[in-house]
Amino acid sequence: MADVSDWLDYVMTVGELREKLKDLPDDLPIIMEKDAEGNGHSPLSGVWEDYRYHPDSSWSGEVTDGDYCCDDDDNVIPDCPHETCRHSTGTDVLLLGPVN
């Protein structure tokens, strides 16, 4: 398994995505691969902000919603000050979601 700390070496940033899309027509549909091997495809259906990413490895992890906090066992922490919960340990990300 690769070191969890190197996941940022593999991720595309919003700026890099903007650069790749800058010359494309605005009405060009976006289809997402379901995995790196191309074992399925689905249209892009949503874009969400205010999420934090928690890598399990270089290639996968979990996200937490910025509207609530949870501990390592995914138990919601009411009125969390973001000092000790998982929300404080993740990385802010833009989340893209497929239709299926």
pLDDT in tens, 28-68: 999 999 888 889 999 999 999 888 888 888 888 888 776 66
- pTM metric for this prediction: 0.70
Whose structure tokens read 């979990």? 62
CA 18 to chain centre: 17
